[in-house]
Chain A
Amino acid sequence: MGKLTGKSAVITGAASGIGRACALSFAREGALLVIADLNEHEGTATAEQCIAAGGRALYRRTDVASEAEIKGAIEQAIAAYGRLDIMFNNAGVPGALGPIETIAAQDWDRTIAILLRAGYLGMKHAIPELRKAGGGSIISTSSAAGLRGLGNAAAYSAAKAGLVILTQAVAIEVGADRIRVNCICPGVIDTPMVNRGRQGGTEETLTRLAQTQQPITRVGRSEDVAAAALFLASDDSQFITGTAISVDGGFNTGNGWLGPREQKSTDFRGPSYLR
């Protein structure tokens, strides 16, 4: 018996990165999955890997900017598996980057639509189905940037912070239905999205960032986030709701990293957004 045997989950953005790692982790525990993503090629491949890992899975093309497509992904879970137990609002983009005064309004709107509005829509359409199942777990991928603002990524930060409080508010509403609502705040994780958003730089840059900006001196992996997601999806966390759990190597800890080990404390400089 896996931790998620017989449980049905819709995961948006599951074709790659964190979403894919979570889908595989859930599949290994016996879950029934809808891989909801824009990328048909990668999404189908993920579904096949999930089946090989011991779960059941199907790919459903989903643009999370579309209410109809989010609703469709959930309806697909009901049609295929007869129930919904887990809704994982994970699809993400870096969004509009750069100083706030340079952000075009349509780019702001699109960032908020994909990162925040999609979370609300996932909750809206999942809740009636989770109630029918007698309870369940809604998880959203927020970010360390949803707890502490990240310079040059204000739209992303604002949307991710919105998810944290949306999570709190909805958790109060649906607790009585045994539906838990939580979010995960990953730090710097080595995923395709992070690598696309980094605007240049190499693998070494990510490693150097990990060594200088956080206590745990390695880059985060999608599997690190997947372990937390599995915990939140399973019955082990049935008394946990309204929370934001960080998986960030200590990135958000304290008021700044002490610096690489060879630096003296008088050289202390925090992350750039605190200078």
Chain B
Amino acid sequence: MGRLDGKVAVITGAASGIGQATALRFAREGATLVAADLNAQGGERTVSECAASGAKAVFQRTDVSSETDIKAAIDRALDEFGRLDILFNNAGFPGPMGPIETVPVEDWDRTMAVLLRAPYLGMKYAIPAMRRSGGGSIITTASDAAVRGLALAATYSAAKAAVVMLSQSVAIETGPDRIRVNCVCPGRINTPLGRGASRPFDAEIERQMAAMQPIPRAGQPEDVANLVLFLASDESEFITGCAYIVDGGRMTGSARLGLPGMSVMGFVGPSFQR
């Protein structure tokens, strides 16, 4: 018995990283999948790996900045598989890096379109379909940058924080329909986006990523996929309006005391207490 037996899921950004790992995890638990992404090569690979687990899966070319494309991805699930149970708004985008005063307005707009507007559009089209299916689970990939602002990535942080609040508001609206709306907040994860796309996961970057949070290893896409699975399944049917963090403790607390070798005398607390 799989934890998602009989459930139909649409996953955006399913061609790589967290989206791909989640699609594969879902497939192993009996879900049927629409893998939505701009990247056809990656998307088809996700589909064939899902099929190798015995799951039904199709690729749907989707640009999440297009309302029509998002609607089409939802419609693909309904047309092909007759229902929609799970929507994972996951397609990601790093946005402009650097101080806020250097951010061109076009980059702000594009970041918001992919990271905030796309989840809203996903919810807009998924909710009526889920109502007809008797309920469902909408999960959006936010970030630990939604919990605490990330310097030099203010656009990204703002979009991710907004999506957490969007989820809360929508959760209130759809609770009685048995549609749950939650976010996951990953820390630094070993994906193309998490590493910086051109970098492979070599020993040096592994060492850097392991030093970024109390748990001394790089986060892996499977860490996020396991959390998304929990939120997608009926096990979490009493959970809504939440943002669950999966970041190895990176955003925990107010000071990084956890660096190996740092003595208590080296502890510097929050500045407002000095």
Closest to B246 in A: A240
Query: Do the beta carbons of A175 and B174 come within 8 Å of each other?
Result: no
Query: Do the beta carbons of B214 and A242 come within 8 Å of each other?
Result: yes
Cross-interface CB contact of B253 among A171, A214, A239, cutoff 8 Å:
A171
Contacting chain B: which of A14-22, A65-73, A199-207, A217-225?
A217-225
Closest to A236 in B: B226
Name the B residues within 8 Å of A246 (CB-CB): 239, 241-242
Chain B 99-129 interface mask (CB, 8 Å, partner A; 1/0): 0000000000000000000000000000000
Closest to A234 in B: B226
Report the minimum CB–CB distance from B37 to chain A (whole Å). Answer: 24
Query: Do the beta carbons of A221 and B238 come within 8 Å of each other?
Result: yes
Cβ of B180 within 8 Å of any chain A Cβ, yes or no, is yes
Cβ of A216 within 8 Å of any chain B Cβ, yes or no, is yes
Query: Do the beta carbons of A248 and B171 come within 8 Å of each other?
Result: no
Report the minimum CB–CB distance from B247 to chain A (whole Å). Answer: 7
Q: How far is the CA of A246 from the CA of B238 in the complex (A)?
A: 9
Contacting chain B: which of A28-36, A93-101, A249-257?
A249-257
Contacting chain A: which of B49-57, B88-96, B192-200, B215-223?
B215-223
Name B235-254 residues within 8 Å CB distance of A.
235-242, 244-249, 251-253
Query: Do the beta carbons of A168 and B175 come within 8 Å of each other?
Result: no
Query: Do the beta carbons of B171 and A215 come within 8 Å of each other?
Result: yes
Cβ of B149 within 8 Å of any chain A Cβ, yes or no, is no
Other contacts beyond A173-B258, A215-B174, A254-B168: 6, CB < 8 A: A168-B253, A175-B213, A175-B258, A187-B238, A215-B172, A227-B235
Chosen A-B contacts, 20 in total, with CB atoms closer than 8 Å, are: A168-B252, A171-B214, A171-B249, A175-B248, A175-B249, A175-B258, A178-B216, A215-B241, A216-B178, A217-B176, A228-B230, A228-B239, A239-B217, A240-B248, A242-B245, A243-B252, A246-B242, A249-B239, A250-B172, A261-B176
Q: Which residues of B are at the interface with A, using a C-beta cutoff of 8 A? A: 168-169, 171-176, 178, 180, 187, 213-217, 219-220, 223, 226-227, 229-230, 235-242, 244-249, 251-253, 255-258, 260
